[in-house]
Structure 1
Amino acid sequence: MRIQRRILQGLLLVCLATTFIAPEQIAIASTPASEQAQILLEEMTPEEKVGQLFLVTFSGTDVSTNSPIYQLIANYHIGGIIISRANGNILVEENAAENTWTLISELQKIEYYNSYRKQPEALITTPPTYIPLLIGLSQEGDNSSHTQILNGVSPIPSQMAIGATWDTGLAQQVGTTAGKELSILGVNLLLGPSLDVLEVPQPSEPNDLEVRTFGGDPYWVGKMGQAYIKGIHEGSQNRILTIGKYFPGLGSADRLPEEEIATVRKSLEQLQQIELAPFFAVTGDAPSPEATIDGLLTSHIRYQGLQGNIRSTTRPISLDPQAFNLLMELTPFGTWHEQGGLMISDSLGSQALRQFYDPTGNSFNARQVALDAFFAGNDILYLGNFADSNLPDTFTTIKNTLDFFAQKYEEDLTFAERVDESVLRILAKKLSLYNDFKLETVLAPQDGLAALEEKSQIAADVARQGATLISPSRSELNNNLPNPPTTNQRIIIITDSFEDEATGKPALEVNTLQESILRLYGPRSGLLITRANLTSYTYKDIIQLLDFPAESEAIGASLSQANWLIVAALNTTGDRPNSRAFHRLLSERQDLLQDVNVVVFAFNAPYYFGATDISKIDAYYGLYSNLPSFVDVAARLLFKEIPNPSGASPVSIPGIGYDLISATSPDPEQTFSIYLNEAPPTEEDIQGETHPDATPSFPVYNVGDVIDIQTSPILDHNGHPVPDGTPVQFVVVSAVSGTNYLPLVETKNGQAQTSFLVEQAENLQVYATSLPAESEILQISVANPGSVDGEVQIAPTASPTSTPTLTPTNTPEPQRVITTLPPLKPTGPSWPNWHVWGLSFLITTAFALIAYQTGAIFGQVRWGIRWGFSAFIGGMLTYSYLALELPGSELLTSSPSLLWNVILAVLVGSSIGWGIAILVRFLVTRSSKIDKSGD
């Protein structure tokens, strides 16, 4: 009896445990990082908590105890710092990398040692509450003001140069290089990459993005962004947080966000199609954690008609709670944010925000701006150039703001809860970088600097693969310029060389291209060219020639004697009148260009020349970056060492009629393949023999089979897979049922697939169109079940019909839609789920009550209780067996009648449980009678 009772008790415990197996595990299990973050949060003071919300800037490299940045770290517990060349934190010098490592290390040490100082003396022997700083910068690539470290690290190409390769592998390699080297320096926050989509280039507008974007196609910007982010994470070994810019996108803005807040006329639906698509791709729709962005930088941009009302204009997204929440309610963003994604405001001290709050520029209430940005939904507030109009300096403004936030934390419970929510998210991210907050873990080791001596060659790979022949076509180029320059020909090089305000140096030196040509093709490299025949001028020299020809006769004479005119072009902007030097030369002094081979290399964006300008150019190439490796590739293109550059522009170029939407549409010159995912045997396989001269057979299906078909990768005009979402129409043609158009499907990773059910025996021809491209034709044979030797039985028709043509029209009128294949798994309720579980529980409970009531009716109350429990255990064990998908369970759960199958199985299980209990009672009663008869 005791053994039987223990068995029943054990079964009851198992049943109770398995009864509450959650059919849908909605709650996310607490991770060690989140648990540790919660512990840290509970130990922090209000001042320490609000300090974590702020990213600050400072001037110079002084971090002594009297410096403002020391005071902000030691006494105000700021959470992070952004360093830059503009603020003098990073100097343009040979040992810039080592100096940056030193600065970052010192900043982290200030926080660490002051965390001890903040402890009571009685606890000085215990580990302090040390929370590392986030120390970040932007490193967008190129020799530009958006790249902070120019010396001591591997050169990084611009994002547009990467986009021109159309190679996500190269994008990842660039990210890996940048992530590895920045991590060596101690950087743990990267403001990048930019995920803006340059849908329509605006070279004449002040908001011109230039080469600070991967391109103009949302799909490809997202793919490149995913790869770049994955590279940063892998290269840094997940020691750098990536922050995507500029959410929700600046591609359609007509103002620079630093100078004036732009207003964009777009609805939320339009934003989702273009601007938001790349941000979706790196947040909730990211393919892996490594490709997921850690945070988003919210831009100061307004939208008119965001919610459909064209008369309604939002405040800047970074300050508008309603507009901000509208975006964050979109599933990819909401899911990502709930899982720990950070929202960071753009610089709250920008000139644009100052004008927004007070167009006169006389008043700027800094702490109110910070409060507005925080209430809008930002987790971290970036206080760049943050100075209140009524306070003496930035340092005082930041202190005042921190004090204000700390006071409000103690007075306003709702505000305190909102702060705790953001700080918890920030702490979890910091823990994801280091696992534990030990100084030796946080500091980048000094011996790692030796790895920076070996520079990566990834920029050279990007330069070679991204180089683009913009105009003319390859065949026309061979006619226009059949041969490269020769030894006796004179070459004039004009370079857009101007001094960068941030570096004090030109992005392109006047003789950069000349020296590259001499190094590769000069006296020491085959003597294809001599120094005497090379002359270089700047754009400023050309302006001098055009405006004061009498004072520039030497330049005019040099140009008139040239055989080749090579132009190294950057951007064209109204802020630099000299940037239009070559445009003016083409229109004002065509006499100097007669019988001269004119070759232009665009080391910035490729859309600054109009159709008339390009018509006067013999060869126009896009390089997209001004790094030395790109200059070398330009020289190799000039001398035809690279005869067929493989890159393609990732943005539209109006001057040559290059439209990116058309370029990324299916190429009509291709005939893509179409095939069966799981083809059945062919007729020859069935017959077991082949004949050399026989016509190739095609697969044989039976009536009632489902045919699953798929295309090969569909390529665009540049030879790359078409973007996701490209529509594809599958068509099935037969002599019996005519032409049938399957439901339209869209591509995924360049391919499309669909399925259909065959309803009668016939020969089928299947093809697909993705206008204007078409596939090859697939032949399929359908036989009646039971036909011998694969013989195809064609259903008779009332009258003969001619075989319809296989060439689809542009606007086909469907004759009959073939039944579409249902999913491989039934489309019933998902399994397991609360609905089925609830019904199973109620039915099992009811059956158990019936079993109990039966025992009670016969005067066996105790056995009635046992019968009830046994029935309940049997039913719930059966449900648990099915829910855990143990062997054999799929026979019931994979059926369309899932609900009824489970209920029936639970009833059977309850019956078996009750039956076992009845059997036990019978055995116990019998044993008792035997014992009594023995007595």
Structure 2
Amino acid sequence: MTREENISDSISMRKKHLYILLALLLWVFPVSNAQSAPRVSPEEILKTMTLDEKVGQLFIVWFKGGEMSPFLQKAIGEYHVGGLIFYSITGNTKSPEQITTLSTAAQKLALRTGADLGLFMSIDQEGGPVTRLTKGFTVLPSNLSIGHTDTAISASRAATLLAQEMTAVGLNMNFAPSVDVNSNPDNPIIGTRSFGNNPNMVARFGRAAVDAYVAQKVIPVLKHFPGHGDTSVDSHNAMPVVPHSLARLQQTELAPFSALAEDAPAIMTAHLFVPALDPTPNQPATFSHKILTELLRKKMGFNGLIITDSLGMGAIANTYGSGQAAVRAFKAGADILLFGADKGHEPEEALAAIRTVRDAVKNGKISEARLNASVLRILKTKKAYNILSPSFQSPLAASHMVGTPKHRAAALMLARKGTKILRDTHKQLPIRGAIPPAVITFGDTPSQQTVEASFPAGTGLIKLPRRPSQELILRVLKHLRDADCIVLTRKTAKAPEQLELVRALESRNAGKLYVATLGTADAILNKTAAPCVIASGSSTPEAIRAIAELLFASATQVR
């Protein structure tokens, strides 16, 4: 290499270091694209807004793809929507750099059109099974796993980490935490998304999470009011019924919301029929004035934003069109009408709903006073969370602020604390001597790579369908004979065949059985006699590693 080439390489390296330093400086001292003059009060802004701008602020809408599109140009520039919701399944969250670039472009468009207001940039980033930010980000354990730690500090740490990674890429609203009390072990939709089955404990952990989000200037949205924890139907498909008495609801389902109502900035509604709260036949809570206005707003003293769950979910969309649903929810007391990426629906349906609500105001079905009340709440919330005039980060800087070694270490620590022994009848733990020759998993999670990276060398993997056939169960039994084995179960309420395999394995005369549940543990504890049961509540790579460490005592367990 010539002297000139050496000099050229040295200059290139220095330039690279300068670019990285500049990106990090932009993170620490973000460059604001907002107006240099201070914004006037929300009340003054409201006075200047047109009807179209006011109605648009009521909507948070979904979209397709990872870049600015004609739909986004129209939704933001012409319909003046109040916010966007990001999903992984729709291609919105491909990488930290892509999300940052998109969120910045969307905010800049909003700031130069209509009332020049920043957008709610929202997402469902609960941790565990509901995690939209994955590639390049830190994936945290589920709420149930956080609940296993027995300290609300864990909820605070998890929420802080989630909020920091969200703000790094320009997101400012999280539809979390779920404060549903998981009192039904067979619940098909809540399960590990809940902190637990004790209302006081759920409220305590929920408060810790809310406080942490607020401190990081991310809007937390408690869900799913008035309580989705004891349902046997998934409201994405149909409308569940919560048949309990008012006394029971106050003691269990409503308790966390009552405890947090005065401090939470936002609460999400659930599409549930709760006859003790509103006996109107087949009236979902989202459409109930008695539940949203008389109970939540007046009796419980909630002054924050009432946000609907997605109005495209089956519990609503099976009966109502998008516009009809939006009008009904708003008249019941909702402030923000959410249209998410529900199966069988398109983003344009939200724009049709905006037109329907606008027409309802024009023809007097919705009063302008009612409209102004919700818009003012929205503006006040945006001001409190620096969304009226947001600042922006460099995509390169954002990529260095997420998925960091420090954050991943924190996720592993939380997973370790949230992994616990529920039963060890024969004192089988930790495993000594010969390594069990097989780890049995169901479905796609965890991956083979995760299992192989977590368990000792020599441990084989038997990967079964989520619901294995009787023939396949018999083949597994024949293959294992009397060998020791580890079984990782998940979502057994929807897959009872997993319990059948566990019972068949435990009935053998020889061979030790170790069961680790990646979901709720009730079914394993109550419907099997498995002598060794470990509860994790998560299937993240860190959770699988924590299970392996506990089984083999290969790491100090932080308790």
Interval containing the TM-score (normalised by the shorter chain): 0.7 to 0.9
Question: 1:407-436 deviations in whole A, cap 9, x for unaligned?
Answer: 44344396111111100110111111117x
Q: Distance in 1 between matches of 2:359 and 2:315?
A: 29
Helix, strand or coil: the match of 1:452?
Answer: coil
Q: Which residue of 2 aligns with 1:371?
A: 327
Deviation of the 1:644 alpha carbon: 8.2
Distance 1:329 1:453, change over 3 A: closer
Structure 1 contact 539–581 (Cα < 8 Å) conserved = no
Q: Which residue of 1 aligns with 2:59?
A: 54
Structure 1 contact 198–252 (Cα < 8 Å) conserved = yes
Q: Which residue of 2 aligns with 1:606?
A: 521
Matched, 1:535 2:460: yes
What amino acid is aligned across from residue 349 of structure 1 in structure 2? G
Helix, strand or coil: the match of 1:536?
Answer: strand
Q: Which residue of 1 aligns with 2:393?
A: 444
Aligned pairs for 1:340-739 (under 5 A) are 341-355=304-318, 357=319, 364-384=320-340, 394=346, 396-412=348-364, 415-434=367-386, 437-438=388-389, 441-446=390-395, 447-455=397-405, 456=407, 457-472=409-424, 476-478=425-427, 481=428, 484-487=431-434, 490-496=436-442, 498=443, 506-510=444-448, 512-518=450-456, 522=457, 531=458, 534-540=459-465, 543=468, 546-547=471-472, 552=475, 558-560=479-481, 562=483, 564-574=484-494, 579-588=495-504, 593-609=508-524, 611=526, 613-614=528-529, 617-641=530-554, 646=559
Q: Distance in 2 between matches of 1:406 and 1:244?
A: 28
Q: Distance in 1 between matches of 2:398 and 2:493?
A: 41
Helix, strand or coil: the match of 1:599?
Answer: strand
What amino acid is aligned across from residue 178 of structure 2 in structure 1? S
Helix, strand or coil: the match of 2:183?
Answer: coil
Q: Distance in 1 between matches of 2:557 and 2:342?
A: 51
Deviation of the 1:571 alpha carbon: 1.5
Cα-Cα RMSD: 2.9
Structure 1 contact 176–231 (Cα < 8 Å) conserved = yes
Distance 1:348 1:461, change over 3 A: same
Matched, 1:82 2:53: no
- Seq. identity, %: 24
Q: Distance in 2 between matches of 1:428 and 1:589?
A: 59
Helix, strand or coil: the match of 1:608?
Answer: helix
What amino acid is aligned across from residue 330 of structure 2 in structure 1? F
Matched, 1:230 2:214: no
Of the three residues 155, 161, 186, the one matched with 2:170 is 186
Q: Distance in 2 between matches of 1:568 and 1:56?
A: 37
Structure 1 contact 111–133 (Cα < 8 Å) conserved = yes
Helix, strand or coil: the match of 1:494?
Answer: strand
Structure 1 contact 467–645 (Cα < 8 Å) conserved = no
Distance 1:396 1:510, change over 3 A: closer
Q: Which residue of 2 aligns with 1:325?
A: 293
Structure 1 contact 539–582 (Cα < 8 Å) conserved = no
Q: Which residue of 2 aligns with 1:303?
A: 274
Helix, strand or coil: the match of 2:367?
Answer: helix
What amino acid is aligned across from residue 515 of structure 2 in structure 1? V
Deviation of the 1:264 alpha carbon: 1.6
Q: Distance in 1 between matches of 2:473 and 2:510?
A: 24
Q: Distance in 1 between matches of 2:308 and 2:378?
A: 14
Q: Distance in 1 between matches of 2:260 and 2:498?
A: 40
Deviation of the 1:459 alpha carbon: 2.0
TM-score (norm 2): 0.85
Q: Distance in 1 between matches of 2:182 and 2:429?
A: 35
Distance 1:561 1:407, change over 3 A: closer
Q: Distance in 1 between matches of 2:399 and 2:462?
A: 39
Gapped runs of 5+ residues in structure 1?
Answer: 1-32, 116-128, 285-291, 358-363, 499-505, 523-530, 647-935
Aligned pairs for 1:780-799 (under 5 A) are none
Distance 1:540 1:371, change over 3 A: closer
Q: Distance in 1 between matches of 2:207 and 2:119?
A: 26
Deviation of the 1:600 alpha carbon: 0.8
Q: Distance in 2 between matches of 1:233 and 1:322?
A: 29
Structure 2 contact 506–513 (Cα < 8 Å) conserved = no
Structure 2 contact 90–341 (Cα < 8 Å) conserved = no
Q: Distance in 1 between matches of 2:436 and 2:157?
A: 40
Structure 1 contact 179–233 (Cα < 8 Å) conserved = no
Deviation of the 1:635 alpha carbon: 1.6
- The structure whose Rg is larger is 1
Aligned pairs for 1:95-114 (under 5 A) are 96-114=95-113
Q: Distance in 2 between matches of 1:561 and 1:140?
A: 41
Q: Distance in 2 between matches of 1:540 and 1:266?
A: 36
Question: 1:58-99 deviations in whole A, cap 9, x for unaligned?
Answer: 1223424xx1121111111111111101222223xxxx2222
Helix, strand or coil: the match of 2:501?
Answer: helix
Q: Distance in 2 between matches of 1:99 and 1:140?
A: 21
Question: 1:22-63 deviations in whole A, cap 9, x for unaligned?
Answer: xxxxxxxxxxx9970011111111111111011111122342
What amino acid is aligned across from residue 110 of structure 2 in structure 1? E
Distance 1:514 1:613, change over 3 A: farther
Gapped runs of 5+ residues in structure 2?
Answer: 1-37
